[in-house]
Amino acid sequence: MKDVHAMTPTAGSLDLHRVGVTGVKKPLAIQRPDRVVTIGASFSVDVDLPASRKGSDLSRNAELLAELIDSTATAPVESLEAACHEIARELLMRHQYATQAQVEATGTYFRSRGISETRRSFEDYLLIASARASRDSNGGEPTVLRTIGAEAVGMTACPCAMETAREILEGEFPLLKDHSFDKFPIISHNQRNRTRLLFEVPPGVEVEVDRILDAIEAAQSSPTYAILKRRDEAQVVLNAHRNPKFVEDVMRDLLSGVVTRFADLPPETIVVAETVSEESIHKYDVTASHRITLGELRHPAAG
């Protein structure tokens, strides 16, 4: 058969940066400390393509995903990012003309959570991972860079509306000015908040996803929970209103938390963070995002 992909392209000689497949859905079995979990994951993989070739052999991508991911049903992998790493490395093996390979994946991760031991249930989080492999020009092992991240939904309470409401309420309810009410939680507006945190780590560095999720949930006004009986619900509300946060506060607390919680990560690690509050008083969302090395985060330049 004629190999159309290997033919010289008719459109002139141009290297292409990224050619691949996207939205390939697969069940991925991951070995957790206590048990095997299967997550529904979606993969995008691509490689570069030299000017001399008309097409990339995309069926190899599908074969490779089938071989590496389907086999986890019997031999679970360590993590989503480990799977990405392995796929990226293997892409370079099978596309000999390529110099770079990229893999991006997301998956739904269920972990057991509860406001107390008797209220535990599985709650859904988003896992995010990627890997980029670069061919070694001397024929050695490719360099593979990984990104490891996650997204958690929690809640925020607005610190500004709370202050203004206090001023208005002090007018209507003069007793509120009594010093005993100094720490009394005042009404505000709350939002569903989605926050993601990713680490682009140097080769060989691992980050446990539960540590990432814990860092995110600690930065929101409060985590949220599937099961809340009446008193639990009030407790979450109280916690959130005693911990009011703009998205700006969520972002700063998240980044501060990264400094204290991830002291083991090397300074060249890149931290990428994004937080979105789905406003209850507006039809639109508010958001903050940041990208910085861990080194810069630990030692901000004097301004």
204 dihedral zone (left: phi>0; alpha: psi -120 to 50; beta): left
Q: Is residue 165 a contact point for a second copy (CB under 8 A)? A: yes
Name the nearest CA neighbour of 223 among 256, 207, 252, 245: 245
Contact 249, 165 (CB under 8 A): no
Among 98, 103, 186, 198, binds a second copy (CB under 8 A): 186
Span 273-292, contacts to a second copy by CB under 8 A = 276, 278-292
Among 141, 184, 266, 299, binds a second copy (CB under 8 A): 184
Residues contacting 98, CB < 8 A, separation 6+ = 47, 48, 49, 56, 91, 92, 135
User: Whose Cβ is closer to a second copy: residue 143's or residue 287's?
Assistant: 287
Q: Is residue 253 a contact point for a second copy (CB under 8 A)? A: yes
Among 81, 90, 200, 249, binds a second copy (CB under 8 A): 249
Alpha helices in 111-228 (DSSP H): 159-172, 209-219
Buried b / exposed e along 153-172 (16+ C-beta atoms within 10 A): bbbbbbbebbeeebeebeee
Site string for a second copy, 254-273 (x = CB under 8 A): -xx-----------------
Calpha distance 244→250 (Å, rounded): 9
Span 25-64, contacts to a second copy by CB under 8 A = 25-27, 35, 37-40, 44, 46, 49, 51, 54-56, 58-59, 62-63
Calpha distance 188→163 (Å, rounded): 9
Among 105, 251, 270, 294, binds a second copy (CB under 8 A): 251
Site string for a second copy, 115-154 (x = CB under 8 A): -----xxxxx----------------------------x-
Q: Is residue 303 a contact point for a second copy (CB under 8 A)? A: yes
**Nearest distance from C-beta of residue 162 to a second copy, angstroms:** 8
Output the CA–CA distances (angstroms, integers) from residue 69 to 34, 41, 46, 61, in the order listed.
Answer: 21, 10, 16, 12
**Nearest distance from C-beta of residue 240 to a second copy, angstroms:** 8
**Nearest distance from C-beta of residue 196 to a second copy, angstroms:** 14
Name the nearest CA neighbour of 51 among 13, 97, 5: 13
Q: Is residue 192 a contact point for a second copy (CB under 8 A)? A: yes
Calpha distance 258→240 (Å, rounded): 21
User: Whose Cβ is closer to a second copy: residue 206's or residue 278's?
Assistant: 278
